Chains A and B, each alone.
Chain A
Amino acid sequence: MTDATLAPATTASRRNWSRFALRWTLFTLLGLFALFYLMPLFVMITTSLKSLEEIRTGSLIAFPREVTFDAWRTAWSEACTGIQCEGLRPFFWNSVVIAVPAVAISTMLGAANGYVIAQWRFRGANLIFSLMLFGCFIPFQVVLLPMARMLGLMGLAGSIPGLIFVHVIYGIGFTTLFFRNFYVTIPQDLVKAAKVDGAGFFRIFWSIFLPLSLPIIVVTVIWQFTQIWNDFLFGVSFSQAGTQPVTVALNNIVNSTTGVKEYNVDMAAAIIAALPTLLVYAVAGKYFIRGLTAGSVKG
C-alpha cells in the first residue's frame, strides 16, 4: 500500500477499481457455482412438496403452487418397497441401528490403534500402519465374496450385527489413519512425563490422550457416519428382507413402483434418507473443518 499512497491519485484509483472488479468477478463466479450445486436440492425439495398433478403440468424449477406434505407421509410410512408397503420407516431404523454402533466401535478402535502406532513405537509399527492404510484403498467389490463367506462362517449372514461387523472392519483403516495422524502431532514428551509420573499404557490413553481428541473424534464420527449411512453396496449384499438399510429401501421405492411414477414421493424419500448426514454436518460441521486443520496441540 505504501507505493500506492505515494503514487499519483489517478494510478491509485485505477488500481482500486481493478481490485474491485476482480473481487466482484470472483464473487459472481462463486455464486454461480453455489447455485449450480444447490439447484438439484432445490428441485428435490420443491418437487417433494408438489402434488403429482402439479408435477405433470408445471415447470421443473417452479415453486409449488400448493404446498402438500402428502408425498413425505407416503415416503415415510406408506410407500412400497417390493411387496412390503410400510415406507422408509423400518429401514431408516435399521440404518440407525447399524450406523450408531458401527461408528462408535470403529472410532474407539481407531483411537486405540492410532495411539499405539503414533506414541508407542514398536518393531513393525510402520508396516502395520501401511497395511491398514492399504485397507482403506481396497475397493468394496473385492471384499464382497470373501466377506460373504466370513459372515456365513460366523453365523452373521444377512443380520444387522453382520453389517455392523463389516462396517467396523472396513472403517478401521480410516479411523486409525485419522487418529494416528492426530496423535503424531502430540509431543512424545507428554507420554514420557506421564510415564515418569507413574501412569501406564491405558492410564495415559484415558487421562491424557482421549481428553485431547475431541476435534479428531468429531472428524472421525462425521466421516464414518456418512460412509456407513450412505453405503449401498454392503447394505444390498449382506442384508435380507428385514435388515435392509435405508439406502437399499430407497432404491426399492424408486424402482418398484408400478403405474405412474411418483416423483414427489421419490424426492421426499431421497431427502429423508439423506437427512441424517445433512444434520450431522450442520451440527458438527465447524468442528469438522477445525479438526481437519488442527495442527499441533500446544502444551
Chain B
Amino acid sequence: MAPILDITNLRKNYGATEILKDINVSIEPGDFLVLVGPSGCGKSTLLNCIAGLEPISGGRIEIGGRDMTRVSPKDRDIAMVFQSYALYPTMTVARNITFGMKVRGADAATQERKLKEVAAQLQIEALLDRRPGQLSGGQRQRVAMGRALVRDPKLFLFDEPLSNLDAKLRVEMRTEIKKLHHNLGATMVYVTHDQIEAMTLATKIVVMKGGVVQQIGTPAEIYNKPANLFVADFMGSPAMNLIPARAQPNGEGTRIEMDCGGSAPIVLKDSRATGLPQDVILGVRPEDIAEAGFRAGEGVQEAACLIDMVEPAGADTYVVSNLGGKQVTARLHAETRAQPGQMLDLAFDLSKVSYFSPATGERLN
C-alpha cells in the first residue's frame, strides 16, 4: 500500500536555530503514529508542519500521494485536535462542529446529518446548544474531537489532546481514542510527552529528542530493543535500569561483571552476547529482574544482591538495590519476603537485556 503520509528530509529552522533535523517518517493508511519525546523536542512543531501551520525549511511532505509541502492547511485534507481544544468561544457546540463544513459550503442538510452522526458517536447530543465556556474539560475534549471527526479527513492530527485532563479522565479518553481509531480505521498522528499514552495507542512510535528522530518502530520494538540510552531511559515506567558493567569474552558468550556496593562484584554469563567492548551499559527492565526461583528459562542468571529499599505497590513489589553505582529497581511478585538491608537472590533474564556503548549511547546488541 502506498504510504498515506510520507515525510522526507524535513528540516525546520527558526533563524539560525534548527528545530527539526532531517526527519524521515512514513505511515500506511490505518496507522496510529505517535510522536513522543520530552518537551522542546520538536514533536509539536513537526505536527504543525504536517498540518501546514508552520512552513518548513527543507524537505517534502506527501499526504495521500500528493505533494503537500506548500499547500495551505485547508487543502491538505486533515483535521486537528489541539491541546487547548481551541473551541470557538462564541459559537455553540453545534456550530463549532459544523463551522468547517459551513466554511466549505456544505449544504444545511449534510451539515445536520453529519452533526447528528458525530454527536451520537461521541455522546454529546445533550450539549449541542451550549457554549464551550459552559462545558467541563472532558466535554470540551469531546467537542474538539467531534470537530475533527465530522470532517472525515485523510489524516487526523492530535496535539497532546489529553494533557489538560485529570488522570482518571485521561485514561478513559485514551481508551476512547483507541476505540475510535479501531472503529473508523482512520489514520492518526498523535503528539504526546507521555510514554504510556504512546505505548498504549500507537501502531508506530517516533521517539524524538532535540529535533532528531531517535527511533522509529512498533511499541514492542521501542520497548524491547531501544536504539540508544535516551530511548531506553525515556520509554517505560519505572525506567529501564542502566547499569555500568564490564564485559569479557568467555567461551561462547560474554562474562558481565557489575560492581555491587562494598561486596564482591556480581558476575553473570550471557551466552548470546558476543563482540561487546570492555565497558558497556547493561539495560534491563525492572520486570526482567525477578526473585530467584520465580523466573526460569534460557538466559536467566541468578545472583545475590543487597536490597536497599522495598516498595510495595499492590500488584507488585519494587525492590531497589545498588549495582554499578546506580539504583536498580526490580519488579518482584507482591508476596516477596525481601527485607531492606538483607541479601536476596535475584534472577536476571539476560535474554531480554540491551547493551549500550557508554561513549556513544548507541545500542550494541
Residues in A lying within 8 Å of B, measured CB to CB: 187, 189-190, 192-200, 203, 207-208, 211-212, 297-299
- Per a CB cutoff under 8 Å, which of B86, B91, B99, B147 touches A189? B86
In the assembled complex, B188 has its CB within 8 A of some CB on chain A: no
In the assembled complex, B133 has its CB within 8 A of some CB on chain A: yes
**Which of B51, B99, B133, B140 has most chain A Cβ within 10 Å?**
B99
Which A residues are CB-close (under 8 A) to B83?
Answer: 189
C-alpha spacing A195/B86, complex, angstroms? 12
Q: How large is the interface on B (under 10, 10 to 19, 20 to 34, 35 or more residues)?
A: 20 to 34
Q: Given A198-B104, A212-B90 in contact, is the A299-B78 Cβ separation under 8 Å?
A: no
Query: Are A196's CB and B89's CB within 8 A?
Result: no
Query: Are A198's CB and B86's CB within 8 A?
Result: no
Q: Given A196-B51, A299-B84 in contact, is the A207-B99 Cβ separation under 8 Å?
A: yes
C-alpha spacing A193/B85, complex, angstroms? 9
In the assembled complex, B73 has its CB within 8 A of some CB on chain A: yes
In the assembled complex, B223 has its CB within 8 A of some CB on chain A: no
Interface string of B58-85 (1 = CB under 8 A from A): 0000000000000011100011101111
Q: Chain A's nearest CB lies how many Å from the CB of B337?
A: 48
Residues in B lying within 8 Å of A, measured CB to CB: 48, 51, 53, 72-74, 78-80, 82-91, 99-100, 103-104, 132-133, 140, 147, 151
Which B residues are CB-close (under 8 A) to A200?
Answer: 74
Query: Are B140's CB and A299's CB within 8 A?
Result: yes
Which A residues are CB-close (under 8 A) to B90?
Answer: 208, 211-212
C-alpha spacing A196/B85, complex, angstroms? 13
Query: Are A199's CB and B53's CB within 8 A?
Result: no
- Per a CB cutoff under 8 Å, which of A187, A192, A198, A203 touches B53? A192
Query: Are B53's CB and A195's CB within 8 A?
Result: yes
Query: Known pairs A190-B88, A192-B51, A197-B99. 7 more at Cβ < 8 A?
Result: A187-B86, A192-B53, A197-B74, A207-B91, A211-B90, A212-B89, A212-B90
Closest 7 CB pairs of A and B: A197-B100, A189-B86, A198-B74, A211-B90, A193-B86, A198-B103, A189-B82
C-alpha spacing A134/B304, complex, angstroms? 76
Query: Are B80's CB and A193's CB within 8 A?
Result: yes
Q: Which residue of B lies closest to A193 (CB)?
A: B86
Query: Are B82's CB and A192's CB within 8 A?
Result: yes
Q: Which residue of B lies closest to A212 (CB)?
A: B90
Which A residues are CB-close (under 8 A) to B53?
Answer: 192, 195-196
Q: Which residue of A lies closest to B88 (CB)?
A: A208
C-alpha spacing A194/B84, complex, angstroms? 14
- Per a CB cutoff under 8 Å, which of A189, A195, A198, A208 touches B84? A189
C-alpha spacing A151/B78, complex, angstroms? 52
Which B residues are CB-close (under 8 A) to A203?
Answer: 103
**Which of B73, B80, B88 has most chain A Cβ within 10 Å?**
B88
Query: Are B147's CB and A197's CB within 8 A?
Result: yes
Which A residues are CB-close (under 8 A) to B86?
Answer: 187, 189-190, 192-193, 299
Query: Are A187's CB and B100's CB within 8 A?
Result: no
Query: Are A197's CB and B103's CB within 8 A?
Result: yes
C-alpha spacing A212/B131, complex, angstroms? 13
C-alpha spacing A203/B74, complex, angstroms? 13
Q: Which residue of B lies closest to A186 (CB)?
A: B89
- Per a CB cutoff under 8 Å, which of A192, A198, A199, A298 touches B89? A298
Which B residues are CB-close (under 8 A) to A187?
Answer: 84, 86
Which A residues are CB-close (under 8 A) to B85?
Answer: 189, 299
Q: Which residue of B lies closest to A210 (CB)?
A: B90
C-alpha spacing A117/B151, complex, angstroms? 30
Which A residues are CB-close (under 8 A) to B103?
Answer: 197-199, 203
Q: 14 pairs across A/B with beta carbons < 8 Å?
A: A187-B84, A189-B85, A192-B51, A192-B53, A192-B86, A193-B86, A193-B87, A197-B99, A197-B103, A197-B147, A297-B89, A299-B87, A299-B89, A299-B132
Which B residues are CB-close (under 8 A) to A197?
Answer: 74, 99-100, 103, 147, 151
Which A residues are CB-close (under 8 A) to B104?
Answer: 198
Q: Chain B's nearest CB lies how many Å from the CB of A50?
A: 52
Q: Which residue of A lies closest to B135 (CB)?
A: A299
C-alpha spacing A270/B284, complex, angstroms? 87
C-alpha spacing A195/B54, complex, angstroms? 12
C-alpha spacing A193/B83, complex, angstroms? 11
C-alpha spacing A196/B88, complex, angstroms? 13
Query: Are B89's CB and A193's CB within 8 A?
Result: no
C-alpha spacing A190/B144, complex, angstroms? 12
Which A residues are CB-close (under 8 A) to B100?
Answer: 196-198
Which B residues are CB-close (under 8 A) to A189?
Answer: 82-86
